[in-house]
């Protein structure tokens, strides 16, 4: 799997290089990205031989162009490929093939690799040092493809090399040690203090501080948003973005470079979006960080998603499923065929619910294959496959491939189009369990959505087993929450909902509360008033009565009537029940149920 990914990344890069060569436009090295400290480090190593792009004026740009053209001609006469190495994206992983001192001496840059094939840029094929390092690669079993490059180009690339080496040195402290966690804990006690701390520590330590800060506050994502004079850092905690602090552009540049280095992004590429990944250890837990960058007018903006990489097997109760909804979900785990759909907008916890169902279905007898975009958690005993639209491996194609692997249970990240919907319901009709997600506002709306996609009702009814619509509400902080008398308007709404619920046989005990939770904020909950999240949901079982209604293209109103008879309560009703139980606030329920996707 990692090999596949590497090859795929390499192939993408090859494509990129090819187009770049054809268009002769290239990604520029951003001279601003180099801080004073880095300049010093690189000039120390460069022994006074400073030809950095930043130092070059207009005249030298013209000279440079001339130089590149003449090297191109020279390459043609030698029957060698030419590479404009100064403008080629350099990947630290490829650079590692030759150590920096050797590269400097031999004027050679390894800039591309797939498996055992390496492409190197050299200044002079007759140089004995160059020949020696090519031979060293060949002795290691590499097939070496030699490309001619200009002397200035090699200098520019060596510059990047030096930066990479510098980060490599820092990288030695890759994991956050127990001892330093204690120190960090104090640092992060007031996250606001982090901003001054970041100015004084190394880039590596700075990133560690931010990682620990994210984990300790329970943030799922950290957003770095540069503007002209500062960079805003926001943490997404329990689904809501909080502005944590601002950092200075200089400090940010160092951290951004470290982030790119750690996540194996190309350091000298600043004008196109990149994706990467790294992981670190915290309290014996390995945490993966998925990093994505986009170019902005003020350097790059990053979003880091923190993913605990260990198996997640949350119980339905832990997620917030109760009474009849819980019973229905437990029943779903033992079905032998049929489609189970979880619906809701992005960030509504659909994947977690699917994973929990999968966790329950995961027995040694069952063959389970997933198709995800991307794989977020590693599940033991399950074959996980990642779609890649760029390589034409989409949900529809992937699903057909998966079905040839004789699975019992298939999990599909999302149903986006008719082709996928058709293949999925076909699979459900032919004896497979198919789990997937869909973007709809409510459980019942899933049916017209599938119809509108073009799936015929005679396939929808028989293939559908259960639809779960859900949202996530934040749980109130147990330390600082108080119970306050309910307002008159809220009480009225409560009473109306409770009256409805009395007529629905959902198994929920319903009483209008005198007092409801009110969020405040304390150290325990990072001043948000909330800690953790739970599901509010509606679970619709497609019984025979509903199947008939679907076949007969009956109205939604009729379908809702049948669903109600069968005990379905709505997400909003479930939310009100959870407010009455003191788990969340009315504000939270309104927030998530009023948003239409
Ligand atoms: Zn609190």
Domain range summary for the chain, segments of one domain joined by +: 2-171, 178-308, 316-473+532-569
Q: What is the pLDDT of residues 51-108, one digit of tens each?
A: 444 444 456 677 888 888 899 999 989 888 888 888 776 776 677 788 888 999 999 9
Report CA(522)–ligand 1 centroid distance (Å).
4
Extract the tokens encoding 226.
Answer: 């540069």
Report CA(329)–ligand 1 centroid distance (Å).
32
Report CA(583)–ligand 1 centroid distance (Å).
13
Of residues 394 and 378, more confidently modeled: 394
Extract the tokens encoding 133.
Answer: 């390092």
Report CA(296)–ligand 1 centroid distance (Å).
36
Report CA(585)–ligand 1 centroid distance (Å).
14
Report CA(528)–ligand 1 centroid distance (Å).
7
Exposure on the CB side of residue 313, measured as CA atoms within 13 A: 9
Residue 278 pLDDT class (50, 70, 90 cuts): confident
Q: What is the pLDDT of residues 479-504, one digit of tens each?
A: 999 999 999 999 999 999 888 888 88
Which 3 state secondary structure label does DSSP give 3? helix
Of residues 413 and 32, more confidently modeled: 413
Q: Are strands 464-476 and 433-438 parallel, antiparallel or unpaired?
A: unpaired
Q: Which fold has domain 316-473+532-569?
A: Rossmann fold (3.40.50)
pLDDT at 43 over 90: no
pLDDT at 209 over 90: no
d(CA 91, CA 81): 20
pLDDT above 90 as % of the chain: 42
d(CA 375, CA 454): 28
d(CA 116, CA 564): 62
Report CA(216)–ligand 1 centroid distance (Å).
14
pLDDT at 17 over 90: no
Contact yes or no for 321/284 (Cβ under 8 A): no
Is it true that domain 178-308 has CATH number 3.30.450.90? Answer: yes
Report CA(126)–ligand 1 centroid distance (Å).
70
Q: Are strands 117-122 and 219-226 parallel, antiparallel or unpaired?
A: unpaired
Mean per-residue pLDDT, 432-459: 94
Q: What is the pLDDT of residues 66-76, one digit of tens each?
A: 888 899 999 98
For residues 551, 556, 559, 561, the Cα torsion angle rounded to the nearest 10 degrees is -160
Mean per-residue pLDDT, 252-271: 90
The answer to whether the predicted template modeling score (pTM) of the entire model surpasses 0.75 is: no
d(CA 190, CA 186): 8
Question: Which of 76-81's residues contact partners 24+ apart within 8 Å by CB, and which partners?
Answer: 78/125, 78/148, 80/125, 80/146, 80/147, 80/148, 81/145, 81/146, 81/147, 81/148
Beta strand segments in 330-461, E: 338-343, 368-372, 383-386, 409-412, 433-438
Lowest-pLDDT range, 4-8, 29-33, 230-234, 251-255? 29-33
Strand partners, 435: 340, 411
Residue 343 pLDDT class (50, 70, 90 cuts): very high
Architecture of domain 2-171: 2-Layer Sandwich (3.30)
Mean per-residue pLDDT, 403-430: 93
Report CA(531)–ligand 1 centroid distance (Å).
7
What lies within 8 Å, CB to CB, of 476 at 6+ separation is 517, 519, 529, 530, 531, 582, 583, 584, 585
What was the pLDDT predicted at 60? Answer: 67
What was the pLDDT predicted at 49? Answer: 36
pLDDT at 211 over 80: yes
φ, ψ of residue 338 in degrees (nearest 5): 115, 165
Report CA(476)–ligand 1 centroid distance (Å).
8
Residue 170 pLDDT class (50, 70, 90 cuts): very low
What lies within 8 Å, CB to CB, of 210 at 6+ separation is 194, 198, 222, 233, 255
pLDDT at 179 over 70: no
Report CA(189)–ligand 1 centroid distance (Å).
14
Which residue is it, tokens 């510098």? 166
Residue 427 pLDDT class (50, 70, 90 cuts): very high
pLDDT at 24 over 60: no
State the average pLDDT for the chain.
82
pLDDT at 42 over 70: no
């Amino acid at each position: 799997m990692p090999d596949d990914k590497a090859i795929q990344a390499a192939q993408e890069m090859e494509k990129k290089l090819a187009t770049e060569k054809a268009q002769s436009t290239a990604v520029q090295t951003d001279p601003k990205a180099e801080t004073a400290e880095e300049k010093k480090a690189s000039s120390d190593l460069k022994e006074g031989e400073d030809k950095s792009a930043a130092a070059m004026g207009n005249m030298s740009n013209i000279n440079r162009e001339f130089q590149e053209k003449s090297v191109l001609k020279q390459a043609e006469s030698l029957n060698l490929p030419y590479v404009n190495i100064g403008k080629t994206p350099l990947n630290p992983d490829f650079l590692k093939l030759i150590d920096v001192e050797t590269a400097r001496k031999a004027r050679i840059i390894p800039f591309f690799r797939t498996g055992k094939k390496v492409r190197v840029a050299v200044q002079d094929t007759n140089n004995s040092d160059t020949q020696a390092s090519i031979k060293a690669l060949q002795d290691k079993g590499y097939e070496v493809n030699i490309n001619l490059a200009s002397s200035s180009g090699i200098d520019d690339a060596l510059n990047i090399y030096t930066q990479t080496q510098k980060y490599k040195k820092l990288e030695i402290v890759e994991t956050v040690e127990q001892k330093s966690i204690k120190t960090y804990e104090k640092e992060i006690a007031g996250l606001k203090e982090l901003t001054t701390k970041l100015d004084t520590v190394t880039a590596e330590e700075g990133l560690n501080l931010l990682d620990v800060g994210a984990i300790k506050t329970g943030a799922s994502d950290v957003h770095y948003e540069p503007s002209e004079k500062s960079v805003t850092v926001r943490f997404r905690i329990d689904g809501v973005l909080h502005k944590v602090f601002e950092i200075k552009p200089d400090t940010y540049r160092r951290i951004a470079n470290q982030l790119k280095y750690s996540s194996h992004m190309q350091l000298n590429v600043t004008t196109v979006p990149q994706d990467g990944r790294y992981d670190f250890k915290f309290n014996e837990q390995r945490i993966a960080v998925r990093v994505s960058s986009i170019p902005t007018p003020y350097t790059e903006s990053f979003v880091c998603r923190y993913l605990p990489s260990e198996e997640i097997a949350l119980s339905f109760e832990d997620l917030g499923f109760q009474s009849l909804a819980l019973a229905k979900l437990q029943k779903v785990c033992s079905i032998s065929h049929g489609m189970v759909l979880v619906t809701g907008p992005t960030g509504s916890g659909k994947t977690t619910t699917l994973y929990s169902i999968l966790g329950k279905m995961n027995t040694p007898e069952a063959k389970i294959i997933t198709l995800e975009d991307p794989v977020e958690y590693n599940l033991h005993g399950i074959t996980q496959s990642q779609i890649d639209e760029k390589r034409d491996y989409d949900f529809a194609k992937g699903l057909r491939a998966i079905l040839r692997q004789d699975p019992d249970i298939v999990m599909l990240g999302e149903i986006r189009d008719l082709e996928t919907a058709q293949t999925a319901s076909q699979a459900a009709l032919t004896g497979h369990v198919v789990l997937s997600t869909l973007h709809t506002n409510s459980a019942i709306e899933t049916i017209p959505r599938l119809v509108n996609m073009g799936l015929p009702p005679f396939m929808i009814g028989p293939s559908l087993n259960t639809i779960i619509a859900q949202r996530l509400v934040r749980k109130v902080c147990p330390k600082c929450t108080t119970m306050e008398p309910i307002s008159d308007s809220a009480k009225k709404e409560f009473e109306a909902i409770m009256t409805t619920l009395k007529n629905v046989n959902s198994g929920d005990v319903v009483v209008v509360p005198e007092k409801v939770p009110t969020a405040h904020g304390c150290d325990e909950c990072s001043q948000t008033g909330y800690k953790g999240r739970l599901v509010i949901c509606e679970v619709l079982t497609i019984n025979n009565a509903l199947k008939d209604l679907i076949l007969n293209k009956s109205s939604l109103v009729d379908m809702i009537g049948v669903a109600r008879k069968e005990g379905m309560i709505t997400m909003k009703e479930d939310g009100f029940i959870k407010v009455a139980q003191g788990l969340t606030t009315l504000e939270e329920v309104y927030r998530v149920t009023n948003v239409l996707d």
